[in-house]
């Protein structure tokens, strides 16, 4: 069976002689050098493009995996919070133990958590906070103990 006209086999592209095609006579040294240099430059550019593409794909996969992990964690936590509210008392106690030396002034919580916090410090309702969120105001600023910050800390620990 003969190949269609204009068809070149893979072997001929790799400069291997094929039975149906006569072998090409060697090119003059000047032609070979110029041809080889042009091919080397094209191959170099192609390899650079492949490396850049591979790096970009790896970066996108890493970003997507991090986003997917955060989405799954948020869904699991949301489901858990529907079953049982956050232990806001435990969150505040942990913040007080960790930042007790910073001279705590007051605790801010969401309206939904009113009555669930027992502390010697003044407890203030902060309308900007959501259920399960808390903030500890200290002499030098504020310690954010919102659910988003706590979730982010857990996810950073997993990476």
**pLDDT tens digits for 49-91?**
999 999 999 898 888 887 787 778 777 877 776 677 778 888 8
Give pLDDT, residue 17: 46
| Residue 21 in domain | no
DSSP H or E segment with residue 125:
strand 123-125
| Residue 58 in domain | yes
| Residue 16 in domain | no
Residues 137 and 95 in one domain: yes
Q: How many CA atoms lie within 13 A of 145 on its CB side?
A: 26
Helices and strands of the chain, counted as H and E runs: 4, 4
- Beta carbons of 59 and 141 less than 8 angstroms apart: no
Residues 102 and 149 in one domain: yes
Give pLDDT, residue 77: 73
**Mean per-residue pLDDT over the chain, rounded:** 78
Q: What does pTM read for this prediction?
A: 0.51
H helices of 84-137, in order, are 88-99
- Beta carbons of 144 and 135 less than 8 angstroms apart: yes
Name 108's bridge partners.
124, 135
Give pLDDT, residue 16: 44
The domain containing residue 68 runs over which residues?
A: 27-84
Last residue of a domain, one of 50, 68, 84: 84
């Amino acid at each position: 069976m003969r190949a269609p006209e204009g068809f070149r086999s893979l072997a001929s592209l790799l400069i291997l002689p094929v039975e149906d095609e006569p072998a090409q006579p060697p090119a003059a040294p000047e032609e070979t050098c110029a041809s080889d240099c042009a091919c080397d430059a094209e191959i170099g550019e192609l390899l650079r493009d492949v490396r850049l593409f591979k790096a970009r794909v790896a970066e996108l996969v890493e970003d997507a995996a991090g986003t997917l992990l955060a989405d799954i964690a948020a869904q699991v936590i949301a489901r858990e919070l529907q079953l049982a509210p956050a232990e806001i008392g435990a969150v505040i106690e942990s913040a007080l133990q960790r930042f007790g030396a910073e001279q705590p002034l007051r605790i801010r919580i969401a309206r939904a958590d009113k009555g669930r916090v027992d502390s010697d410090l003044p407890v203030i309702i902060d309308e900007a906070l959501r259920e399960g969120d808390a903030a500890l105001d200290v002499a030098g600023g504020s310690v954010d103990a919102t659910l988003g910050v706590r979730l982010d800390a857990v996810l950073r620990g997993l990476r």
